[in-house]
Amino acid sequence: MTKETYYFSHDYGSRNDPKLVKVLMRLGQEGKGVYWDLVEMLYEQGGYLMLSDCDSYAFALRTSEQCIASLINDFGLFENDGEKFWSNSVLNRLDKREAKSLKAKQSALKRWNKADSNANASKNYANALPSQSDPNALKERKGKESKVKDSIYIPTESGDFEKEVVKFLPKVPWEQYSVLDFETPKTDLLNDLEFISKTSSSHNLTKIQTEEWVKKFFIHIEKSNEGHANLQAHRKHCTNWINLKIQNEKNNKDGKTTFKAGQRTNGQVPTRGYSKL
């Protein structure tokens, strides 16, 4: 299984930190590089590494065990309790990441709880409708049933389509966001199975490929500060952006003209359009 990839912040001026300057003086660039390798390993292992495994770390990093021991003990860069060692700054950043992840999960759960509440309300309303023997009631019931979807098809990595049964809940009012909030709508859109399935099918993409396009879209709108107040607007903007990007990739391969949002094209129009970006 592919491991989820994260990044950690690295201040531009960290090379001027007095502790790292001392590392550079005593251990050279090798010591400095090994220090950052150990920081990466701490993030990968949840913030703690075992002192008893320093020989393994030395082998993995192609350095000496003495170099690693010196970094742990001589420069105040790490803390240890005789069994394991850690970096307080790494632990602080991991705590912030966990809090951010929890907030995103709570937002998604809140959205689905709202949907459940609306589903129950719809059921109660349906019980108050005229008897099913009433011709008008039968006609209305038939019209609603024709719109029910009980399954979607999600492309797999092999290119085949895998059927996944999903009970689509009734439409609910779109959740409002701050236009400066990009993480919450990104999480909601990635959890929107209907959107992911339709986008995957439209472009013959796998589920993972579609999710990567969604993440790239949010990087784009965050850089250009183009947030939206509701999920419906994010879905529409994301769909048009992905359409344009994929069409331009195809045009590049075929040697054809590519387009930007809002660009005058002298009558040439990308296959899926761009005017709504």
Question: What are the structural domain ranges in the chain?
Answer: 12-86, 96-130+137-254
Looking at residue 57, its pLDDT comes to: 93
**Reported confidence tier of residue 12, pLDDT bands at 50, 70, 90:** low
Percent of the chain residues past pLDDT 70, beyond the cut: 63
Dihedral sign (CA 174, 203, 226, 268): negative
Pairing of strands 79-80, 151-155: unpaired
Per-residue pLDDT, averaged over 56-78, amounts to: 94
pLDDT score of 11 more than 80: no
* Closest to 85 measured CA to CA, from 66, 71, 65, 99: 71
Percent of the chain residues past pLDDT 90, beyond the cut: 35
163 vs 242, higher pLDDT: 242
Q: Give backbone dihedrals phi and psi of 153, rounded to 5 degrees, phi first.
A: -115, 120
* Dist. CA 30–CA 27, nearest whole Å: 6
Per-residue pLDDT, averaged over 8-19, amounts to: 68
**Helices marked H in the chain:** 18-44, 54-60, 65-73, 88-127, 135-145, 183-190, 193-203, 207-223, 231-254
pLDDT, tens only, 200-231: 998 899 999 999 999 999 999 988 888 888 88
pLDDT score of 257 more than 50: yes
pLDDT score of 48 more than 90: yes
* Closest to 257 measured CA to CA, from 267, 244, 270, 246: 270
pLDDT score of 276 more than 50: no
pTM (2 decimals)? Answer: 0.37
The helix or strand, by DSSP H or E, that contains position 151, with its residue range, turns out to be strand 151-155
pLDDT score of 173 more than 80: no
